[in-house]
A and B are shown apart, each in its own frame.
Chain A
Amino acid sequence: MSLLTVSRATIRFGGLVAVNDVSFEVPAGKLFGLIGPNGAGKTTCFNLITGIYRPTSGDIVFDGSSIVGLKSHQIAARGICRTFQNIRLFGDLSAIENVVLGGFLRHHSTMVEAVTLLPRAVRETDGLVEYAMHLLETFGLADEANTRSRDLDYGNQRRLEIARAMATKPKLLLLDEPAAGMNPFEKIGLMAQIRRLRDEFGQTILLIEHDMKVVMGVCESIFVLDHGAEIAHGLPEEIRNDPRVIEAYLGEPV
């Protein structure tokens, strides 16, 4: 059974149909790519899945139940977490605080316990900090743990965003252009990291990316959007040779 099923999702902003009758399925444990030219509706798809927008029609089923109409934080609690195309870290908080916040979703202690510093709240905070440190190490950010996230360099900010999302222990991770603004060397590192997430954590990932090397390199299944509608889906080789995709997006075979 697939983890996420988007069926006939449509959203209109006034006269503009940003996403038109799109259906796809993300199977558990897969690396799933979402590509298309600028303005094709990829990020809008993400916003539909994470509850920032509500689809005009259609259904989104995650892990066996519909998530349409739920608030963002409820969807995050169900196990979908994302990164943003334009990095949205908590700028004035340190790297580790960003990641600890990601794990906060799973806390149990109450606010009363926190303000009286009862052992459970302290223990839980210590546990979250420890787990966050482990994640930072996984992403090679351990040395920057106490740096304000605003002061990190661009590649590290991108990695920190993924680490923060991973801290929520999501069942489905949505990455919105994780390689944007990275140099070729960093992209290779990023691809390795994404693959490691899948292999070590068994992470299901839905990925938006413009860099074809990254997409073709890591994704096992690709879905192509243009003008808000599906034009193709399939394995990377099929997509690479699909004439409609070449015409709308790729330009020439890569």
Chain B
Amino acid sequence: MNAPKFWITRLGSIAIVVLFLFLLQTKIAPALGFLDNRLIQLGMLYATLAVSLNLINGITGQFSIGHAAFYQIGAYSSAFVTIHYYNTGTIEGWVWVLLMIIVGAVAAGIAGFVVGLPSLRLRGDYLAVATLGFGEIVRIIIQNQEKLGGSYGLTVRAANSPEAIKLTQIWMIAGLAILVIAICRNLLKTAHGLPFLAVREDELAASAMGVNTTRTKVTAFILGAAFAGMAGALFSHYEGFITLKQFDMNQSFLIVAMVVIGGAGSITGAAMAGFFLYLLPESLRDLPDVSGFAVFGFVLAAVVALTVAIQIRKRLSLTQAGGTQTAFAGMGLIGVLGAGYLAYWIWSVEVPAMTQVSLTIMCAGLAIAMIFTKRRIPNLAGFGWVVLCAGLVAALTIPMIHLLQSVSFTHAILADISYKAGNLRYPLFAAMLVIVMLTRPQGMLGHHEFSWDWLKRIFGLPHKRTEIAA
């Protein structure tokens, strides 16, 4: 690469990022409501966390499930420094946040180094247990420190005032997400990413090829932890108040689930999974309560429908050209029209803008992807089967609800139960995880990265073969 071209591309991409952050801060964010702003910012923090864990779990293959601990260390250490030193000097505003990001990164990075050390001896499940234990140790230590607020939580404020200070702006969070993604992506774009991948694939062979596996693993832990610490610093200065509950084991598992669903080893997969898996369940919060009959009726219907549909799929050939395939493809076509209509419908009803945009894009994207792929008929037939499942579930839910209501035993149990839709987020999330693991164990994107070439290949358009694309 020659020098002028290098500077043009590098400065150009930085300029684009700065411009985007500027527009986000001054134009896009004010146009959205408070809730949407909050969802986007937390979604981007989760994307950052997922990408940082992906560096440890997906790229280097060290199964770590205590990632919320690094997030927590970043949040608490930066909050502690703010409480003691903010307003004592001349630094304030975004420069202070930048400093706090560095504090969080250093504190979490040191913790990452400490956790990285056992990874030299522990493999797989054993390492997972050790990191899980580390997460709990951090939580319990903080719980028993009065200076860190203990179980009461910590208000991020200046020493001389009781008011929480919320310095984090949306552009900082977006900037951090972009920075972390860029660092991981650049790492894999050069040969420097290969030792990390090699350690994941085969440690012994990697060391025989001259890879210092010790240093590689510890580096991955330090980097991943430092990124999470940065996110933690932004989080504490965004919320203004932090408690232990925001960093418990559930959070760790949520982040692991994001990485696994997105595809361990895929940066773009982790980023998208982090963002959307935080957003979609959150947007269920505002829905009305659901009765116990509806929930269990739906679950029963889903079980029956899937059992029937799987039997149908076993007996009929959807992959070979023929009458069955055509019939299913027709059903798929109806599903595509339905998805298109759904996109239109969501666009026209009153829901938070983020939910609207993401769901519309998903439905419209699905419809477009189904029509424009190379293997149109088989894909449509496969989708037709999904439509059949959905149709069966829909058709069976009402009779199942009636069944549950008419049987006195189930009626007695379920009559008084109703669920807040928001509380059904995690069961839904778990079901999604199970479905993804059963149908695509390698995660949505597997080890691949999202790229326009990849998209072109799916659609059968001319594309270039990638040379080195880990």
Contact across chains for A100 and B194 when beta carbons are under 8 A apart:
yes
Contact across chains for B192 and A72 when beta carbons are under 8 A apart:
no
A126–B468 Cα distance when bound, in Å, is 10
Contact across chains for B205 and A104 when beta carbons are under 8 A apart:
no
A129 in the interface (beta carbon within 8 A): yes
B189 in the interface (beta carbon within 8 A): yes
A115 contact set on B, CB distance < 8 A: 182-183, 186-187, 192
Supposing A73-B213, A77-B210, A111-B192 touch, asked if A116 and B205 sit within 8 A by C-beta, the answer is no
Contact across chains for B210 and A93 when beta carbons are under 8 A apart:
no
Chain B residue nearest to A52 in the complex (CB)? B204
Contact across chains for B191 and A100 when beta carbons are under 8 A apart:
yes
A71–B212 Cα distance when bound, in Å, is 9
Contact across chains for A129 and B204 when beta carbons are under 8 A apart:
no
Contact across chains for B209 and A81 when beta carbons are under 8 A apart:
yes
Contact across chains for A100 and B468 when beta carbons are under 8 A apart:
yes
A126 contact set on B, CB distance < 8 A: 1
Within 8 Å by CB of B192, from A97, A114, A129, lies A114
Question: Range of interface residues on chain A?
Answer: 35 or more
Within 8 Å by CB of A76, from B207, B265, B447, lies B207
A181 in the interface (beta carbon within 8 A): no
Within 8 Å by CB of A164, from B1, B189, B209, B467, lies B209
Chain B residue nearest to A71 in the complex (CB)? B207
B393 contact set on A, CB distance < 8 A: none
A90 contact set on B, CB distance < 8 A: 197-198, 201-202, 205-206
- In A76-96, the 8 Å CB interface with B consists of 76-77, 81-82, 84, 88-94, 96
Contact across chains for B201 and A122 when beta carbons are under 8 A apart:
no
B10 in the interface (beta carbon within 8 A): yes
A50 in the interface (beta carbon within 8 A): yes
Chain A contact surface mostly: helix
Chain A residue nearest to B467 in the complex (CB)? A129
B208 in the interface (beta carbon within 8 A): yes
Residue with the highest number of chain B CB atoms closer than 10 Å, among A73, A89, A124: A73
- In A93-121, the 8 Å CB interface with B consists of 93-94, 96-97, 100-105, 107, 109, 111, 114-117, 119, 121
Supposing A76-B210, A84-B205, A117-B189 touch, asked if A101 and B467 sit within 8 A by C-beta, the answer is no
B344 CB to nearest chain A CB (Å): 41
A124–B191 Cα distance when bound, in Å, is 8
Give how many A-B residue pairs fall within 8 Å (CB-CB). 132
B213 contact set on A, CB distance < 8 A: 73
A77 contact set on B, CB distance < 8 A: 210
A94 contact set on B, CB distance < 8 A: 468
Supposing A90-B198, A96-B468 touch, asked if A109 and B1 sit within 8 A by C-beta, the answer is no
A82 contact set on B, CB distance < 8 A: 208
Contact across chains for B466 and A146 when beta carbons are under 8 A apart:
yes
A114 contact set on B, CB distance < 8 A: 186-187, 190-193
Contact across chains for A121 and B197 when beta carbons are under 8 A apart:
no
Contact with B along A172-189 (1 / 0, CB 8 A): 000000000000000000
Contact across chains for A123 and B1 when beta carbons are under 8 A apart:
yes
Question: Range of interface residues on chain B?
Answer: 35 or more
Chain A residue nearest to B195 in the complex (CB)? A104
B210 contact set on A, CB distance < 8 A: 73, 76-77, 81, 102, 104-105, 168
Chain B contact surface mostly: helix
B3 in the interface (beta carbon within 8 A): yes
A169 CB to nearest chain B CB (Å): 10
A84–B208 Cα distance when bound, in Å, is 10
A123–B6 Cα distance when bound, in Å, is 11
A76 contact set on B, CB distance < 8 A: 207-210
Chain B residue nearest to A101 in the complex (CB)? B194
A128 in the interface (beta carbon within 8 A): yes
A125 in the interface (beta carbon within 8 A): yes
A177 CB to nearest chain B CB (Å): 15
A30 CB to nearest chain B CB (Å): 22
- In B1-53, the 8 Å CB interface with A consists of 1, 3, 6, 10
B212 contact set on A, CB distance < 8 A: 71, 73
- In B192-232, the 8 Å CB interface with A consists of 192-195, 197-198, 200-202, 204-213, 219
Contact across chains for B194 and A104 when beta carbons are under 8 A apart:
yes
B470 in the interface (beta carbon within 8 A): yes
A90–B211 Cα distance when bound, in Å, is 13
B192 CB to nearest chain A CB (Å): 4
Contact across chains for B201 and A117 when beta carbons are under 8 A apart:
no
A196–B292 Cα distance when bound, in Å, is 75
- In B405-430, the 8 Å CB interface with A consists of none
A125 contact set on B, CB distance < 8 A: 189-192, 468
Residue with the highest number of chain B CB atoms closer than 10 Å, among A94, A97, A121, A123: A97
A76–B206 Cα distance when bound, in Å, is 10
B121 in the interface (beta carbon within 8 A): no
A165–B208 Cα distance when bound, in Å, is 9
Contact across chains for A116 and B186 when beta carbons are under 8 A apart:
yes
- In B456-470, the 8 Å CB interface with A consists of 465-468, 470
Contact across chains for B211 and A104 when beta carbons are under 8 A apart:
yes
A26 CB to nearest chain B CB (Å): 18
Contact across chains for B190 and A97 when beta carbons are under 8 A apart:
no
B10 contact set on A, CB distance < 8 A: 117
Contact across chains for B470 and A93 when beta carbons are under 8 A apart:
yes
Contact across chains for B186 and A111 when beta carbons are under 8 A apart:
no
B187 contact set on A, CB distance < 8 A: 111, 114-115
Closest 9 pairs (CB-CB, A-B): A76-B210, A105-B210, A90-B201, A114-B192, A72-B207, A88-B205, A101-B194, A114-B190, A125-B190
Q: Which residues of B contact A (CB under 8 A)?
A: 1, 3, 6, 10, 182-183, 186-187, 189-195, 197-198, 200-202, 204-213, 219, 265, 447, 465-468, 470
Give 9 pairs: A residue, B residue, CB < 8 Å, sorted on A.
A89-B205, A91-B202, A101-B195, A103-B191, A114-B192, A114-B193, A116-B186, A125-B192, A164-B209
